[in-house]
Amino acid sequence: METPEGLLVLEGRPTAQLIADHLREQIIQGVFRPGQQINESVLAGQLHTSRGPVREALQRLAQEGILVSLRNRGVFVPELSIDDIKEIYAVREAVESASANMLLAAGQEHIELICQSLKETLTDMAEQVDLSDWQALTRLDMQFHTSFVEATGNSRLIRIYDTLVAESRMCILNLRVSYPRVDVLVQEHQNLLDLLEAGDNEGLQQAISRHMRTAVDDLTATTLQE
């Protein structure tokens, strides 16, 4: 396995968790491509560490679904199918719908705090749309939704959503060039924010569903064209 461009060498003696976090981000950013094998021995050499923590890190990522371990073959970056995309976004819809219920039940003061944070993210998103910074826009898109779920304070929902975010970024990577509807991306997120701020549960639930299903349509249309 050649050293992927952009792979950083971790300083010192990295732990399995640090290696897993590092690799997850590299996979999400496309340093490791779908279908590519991750060689434990080569990776340990590149990171200047022993194979033990690398093996544990790969096992953790396989448990998350970020990597796929194939018996007698090795560990690979998954190639996400249309069915995978549909499943990921269906679960995201369920988690965000549950989060909306929790947030709207938490009271106006809490809603105002999360809305302020989301407004800041939206401002940054608008700037990146103007700059056409693809990686930054993807990160901010996911940051908006992650902040929404994290505001519930539900540790299990947050843990589930962390994996979904990583998988979503891998899905979005398949678009390669740009969001197909970048002109309305900020507007869609602004609509979610406005509905949350207004306390409109029914409208927010419908908007979350519409937002996720539109994303699936965009991602699967791109996949089908390849």
Where is pLDDT greater, at 10 or 69?
69
pLDDT digits (tens, 9 = 90+) for 183-195: 788 999 999 999 9
* Residue carrying structure tokens 């306390």: 199
Tell me: pLDDT of 223 over 70.
no
- CB-CB neighbours of 42 under 10 Å: 14
The CATH topology of domain 82-222 is: Four Helix Bundle (Hemerythrin (Met), subunit A) (1.20.120)
pLDDT band at 157; cut points 50, 70, 90: very high
- CA dist 48 and 121 (Å) reads 37
Size of the chain in residues: 226
SS (H, E, C) the chain: CCCCCCCCCCCCCCCHHHHHHHHHHHHHCCCCCCCCEECHHHHHHHCCCCHHHHHHHHHHHHHHCCCEEECCCEEECCCCCHHHHHHHHHHHHHHHHHHHHHHHHCCHHHHHHHHHHHHHHHHHHHHHHHHCCHHHHHHHHHHHHHHHHHCCCCHHHHHHHHHHHHHHHHHHHCCCCCCCCHHHHHHHHHHHHHHHHHCCHHHHHHHHHHHHHHHHHHHHHHHHHC
On the question of pLDDT at 8 being above 80, the answer is no
pLDDT for 31-61, tens place per residue? 888 899 999 999 988 888 889 999 999 999 9
User: What does the alpha-carbon distance between residue 163 and residue 211 come to, in Å, rounded to a whole number?
Assistant: 19
Q: How confident is the model at residue 177 (pLDDT cuts 50, 70, 90)?
A: very low
Q: How far apart are CA 184 and CA 220, in angstroms?
A: 19
- Decide if 222 contacts 180 (C-beta within 8 A): yes
CATH 1.20.120.530 positions along the chain are 82-222
Q: Looking at residue 41, what is its pLDDT?
A: 92
pLDDT band at 133 (very low <50, low <70, confident <90, very high): confident
- Ranges in the chain annotated CATH 1.10.10.10: 16-77
Asked which of 51-65, 122-136, 152-166, 185-199 is least confident by mean pLDDT, the reply is 122-136
Name the CATH architecture for the domain at 16-77: Orthogonal Bundle (1.10)
Q: How far apart are CA 148 and CA 196, in angstroms?
A: 10
Percent over 90 (pLDDT), the chain: 58
Most confident of 115-119, 164-168, 180-184, 185-189: 115-119
Q: Which residues pair with 69 in a beta bridge?
A: 75
User: Is pLDDT larger for residue 12 or for residue 155?
Assistant: 155
Write down the pTM of the prediction. Answer: 0.83
